[in-house]
Amino acid sequence: MASKGFKDLKQQAEGTAQDAAMDNLGKSTQEAIDKAANQASDSVSGLGKKFGLQK
């Protein structure tokens, strides 16, 4: 019976670790997407200024 409790605790710990990893991965991915979008926006803005389309 004690081994079943240990097995359940192990599964719960593994599930928690996987959830934390997925949350971290999602945040990292979103940060990378945001950074790329900002860089693209800055590049387009710079081109617009270079060609006189924006002030």
- Cα(2)–Cα(9) distance, integer angstroms: 11
Q: Is the pLDDT of residue 1 over 60?
A: no
* Model confidence pLDDT, tens digit, residues 3-54: 788 889 889 999 999 999 999 999 999 999 999 999 999 888 887 777 776 5
Residue 6 has a pLDDT of 84
Structure-token match 């997925």, residue found: 22
Nearest Cα to Cα of residue 11 among 37, 26, 43, 19: 19
- Cα(41)–Cα(25) distance, integer angstroms: 24
